[in-house]
Structure 1
Amino acid sequence: MTVPLRIRPLAAQDAPALLAITAPVVRAGETYALPPDMSEAAMCAYWRAADKESVVAEADGRVLGLAYVRANQPGGGAHVANAGFMVAAEAQGRGIARALAAHVLDRARARGFAAMQFNFVVATNTRAVRLWQSLGFVEIGRVPEGFRHPREGLVDVLILHRRL
């Protein structure tokens, strides 16, 4: 029997789970352009920022992933959404990111966004790239050697986009 996945707003009491997911990703420095020495308080503030609508995916009372949606830019760019996602290492490959993506795309549409753009997808993050492409995102730009990967050296950064 499969435990149903529930997606709900990020709450203050989710801080320990948020940190358990976020800290290893940030410390590894392989997929997010956040400083590897970022404090736990800053990680919580990043996900709880006023410009973000953040959610968690949980099953059986355990938070397995996080996502947010926000305007990509203020003013003239506010009609294009941006989003971020992280999934707990032990939950990867179980469809958590896909479920979060579907939720975030629905929320973006409901909020009136015309499109969604990912500004900084590390090219070596092939799992994420495959997921976004399977959901209709296309590469609209590439920043050559735009990310300093801790093992791969300088790698490209992709800009992905899709209309909503």
Structure 2
Amino acid sequence: MEITIREYSEKDLEQMIEIWNEVIDSGIAFPQTEKLTQDEAAVFFAEQSFTGAAVNENTQEILGLYTLHPNNIGRCGHLSNASYAVKSAARGLHIGEKLVQHSIKKSKELGFKILQFNAVVKTNYSAIKLYEKLGFVRLGTIPGGFLMKNGKYEDIILFYHNLNLE
């Protein structure tokens, strides 16, 4: 299976919405509580600095995606932020790693100096392991910073990656 990461197109929206909403519905990773509609998704993905799609080149199936945008404004506008979603049926194929690596390169291309993650849920062990493998630095923990779908609060971890070191 050949997987490439490319900029999304409108024809990808239906599959991307399905993947994004699957993560929202799980209630264990994304802060959003409401699923994206077709109209909302068209606006949301278009207004990002970059939205990438992981595509199975043999079938043209979208297996994952990421959004990239400024983490802040003005004097902190050089910090970027990204969110990643991988189709549950495609997990374990290193798609998340490809998405993160692509976002690091794209962040640099767009002139960002740092890629920062504001809220990695402490129980998202595979993401934490991946981020640390790729050189992200753990900044600290916010106790109870994420409301899980089951109603319990979980800690979140902040990470950053200095893009000037790439």
User: Matched residues in 2 for 1:42 and 1:130: separation?
Assistant: 35
Q: CA deviation at 1:45?
A: 4.5
Match of 2:48 among 27, 35, 51: 51
- Please name the residue that 2:70 is paired with: 71
Q: Structure 2: 5+ residue runs without aligned partners?
A: none
Percent identity over the alignment? 27
Q: Point out 4+ residue stretches in structure 1 off by more than 6 angstroms.
A: none
What per-residue deviation string (whole Å, max 9, x for no partner) do you get for residues 109-130 of structure 1? 1122111100111111111111
Q: CA deviation at 1:46?
A: 6.6
What per-residue deviation string (whole Å, max 9, x for no partner) do you get for residues 116-151 of structure 1? 100111111111111111111121121110111124
User: Matched residues in 2 for 1:101 and 1:54: separation?
Assistant: 12
Q: CA deviation at 1:6?
A: 1.4
Q: CA deviation at 1:41?
A: 3.5
TM-score norm. by structure 2 comes to 0.90
- Please name the residue that 2:24 is paired with: 26
CA 1:12–1:34: 2 relative to 1, 3 Å? same
Q: CA deviation at 1:38?
A: 2.8
- Please name the residue that 2:7 is paired with: 9
User: Matched residues in 1 for 2:43 and 2:132: separation?
Assistant: 26
- Please name the residue that 2:140 is paired with: 141
* 2:97 maps to amino acid: R
User: Matched residues in 2 for 1:115 and 1:143: separation?
Assistant: 20
Q: CA deviation at 1:20?
A: 1.8
Q: Secondary structure at the match of 1:15?
A: helix
User: Matched residues in 1 for 2:114 and 2:84: separation?
Assistant: 17
Q: Structure 1: 5+ residue runs without aligned partners?
A: none
TM-score norm. by structure 1 comes to 0.91
How many positions carry a matched residue from both structures? 161
Q: Secondary structure at the match of 2:13?
A: helix
User: Matched residues in 1 for 2:140 and 2:39: separation?
Assistant: 29
What per-residue deviation string (whole Å, max 9, x for no partner) do you get for residues 69-123 of structure 1? 2111111111111111000001101010101111110111112211110011111
